[in-house]
Amino acid sequence: MPNGPVVASEAQTDEFNPFSSMEKLFNRAADVLDLDEGLRSLLRTPERELTVALPVRMDDGTIRVFTGYRVQHNFLRGPCKGGIRFAPDVNIDEVRALAAWMTWKCSIVDIPFGGGKGGVICDPRELSIGELERITRRYTAAIIDILGPDRDVPAPDMNTNEQTMAWIMDTYSMHVRRTTTAVVTGKPISLGGSRGRHEATGRGVMLVCREAMKKLGRRPEATTVVVQGSGNVGGIGALLLHREGYKIVSLSDMYGTLHNDQGLDVPAALDHLRANKTLEGFGEGDHMPNGEQLELECDVLVPAATENQITSENADRIKASLIIEGANGPCTAAAQDILVDRGVVVVPDILANAGGVTVSYFEWVQDRWGYFWTEDVVNSRLEQIMVKAFSDVDGVAESHGVSMRVAAYTLAIERVVNVYRMRGLFA
């Protein structure tokens, strides 16, 4: 565990540092709860951080050394839970922030996990399948002492998937000499994965959007939506919102934005994306640079790509009156203030995208039981949890007169604090 409070790296002490944003929002909620500085420091500080060097033999016979991280933010409510991302811009502050967000996310949906997160600095687009497998297995072996169904349960994240989880599960199982499916979630169904897991985060986005719309007295068929992203969160979220009657006027991928004021045929657009690996060339709409998408005219904006998309530089140009955060940290803390002042309702990431970790919890439970549920059962239980979580956060927002984001943090932190006060401080 780090000595003293963790602070953001000197290179990232600005608005765009995700750990700094998390701390600012944490402190606002801690003020609502009137927490003393000692308790604030305890809850802000990750319990364990591990940085590992990963020597990997590449396809051409050379050896490259990659850097990997795993941060375990908090164990008070149960084992750590959180994804592993492979990306060239992974850094320790990002992983710290994501681990903390996982703690608050699990608390909001009231599942018995703490928060963890991991990452490897690499560019998967430049790596073969064999190189990705060797990186994954080496990373798993390097952090294996802190993994396990009762310690830390990883899941997929940016640029990782069910195949990555299968490699992690297999590597862990070989080391402990028994098949241990519950060590990761987001696995293929044939290896103990849960039905409904692939769609879970996008389904959660749709469910909290539905609850927010009810609260605001709006109807889906009279609502235009811009979705930034088209992957497991953005693409599936857009598809499910489309089925509910919303008019999806824009989708995007890493190469550009698709826009049609009359509404997109979302299933056809996603079919085109699967076939061509890009939305470019899809005929039903105009193509534009990604930088313009967030400022399009719409009623609802779903940023479902990556963090730091809505900032102090563009928050005053956002046209949407309702934002559903599908990605982690898409709004900076400074942008949040601007949006609130303008009357924009923001359903925060730690609530809006909690569907994924909720069904990951279901998968973990099913693996430990050795008994698996139908997809209808999974979706029904997910809906119950997401609807209750929205209601709980909305209740805190009304009772304290704060934004949905501050309310979400307040509810999450209060639940963790209550567990701490019951358990006490081990000496």
Residues carrying an active site annotation? 117
Q: Measured between alpha carbons, how far is 308 from 101 in angstroms, rounded to an integer?
A: 15
Hey, which residues does 355 pair with through a beta bridge?
none
345 and 323 Cβ atoms separated by less than 8 Å: yes
Cα three-residue angle 145-148-149, rounded to 5 degrees: 165
Q: How far is CA 420 from CA 74, 208, 339, in A?
A: 11, 29, 33
Q: In the chain, how many H helices and how many E strands?
A: 13, 12
Question: What is the β-pairing status of strands 322-324 and 345-347?
Answer: parallel
* 152, two tokens: 């830390």
343: left (phi over 0), alpha (psi -120 to 50) or beta: left
Q: Measured between alpha carbons, how far is 129 from 417 in angstroms, rounded to an integer?
A: 44
Which helix (DSSP H) or strand (DSSP E) does residue 66 occupy? strand 63-72
Q: How many residues does the chain have?
A: 427
43: left (phi over 0), alpha (psi -120 to 50) or beta: alpha
Q: Measured between alpha carbons, how far is 419 from 152 in angstroms, rounded to an integer?
A: 19
Beta strands in 329-411 (DSSP E): 345-347
CA-nearest of 117, 128, 139, 148 to 18 is 117
User: In this structure, what DSSP letter does residue 171 have?
Assistant: H
Q: How far is CA 345 from CA 137, 225, 244, 326, 403, in A?
A: 43, 14, 21, 14, 8
Radius of gyration of the chain (CA): 21
Q: Measured between alpha carbons, how far is 159 from 371 in angstroms, rounded to an integer?
A: 29
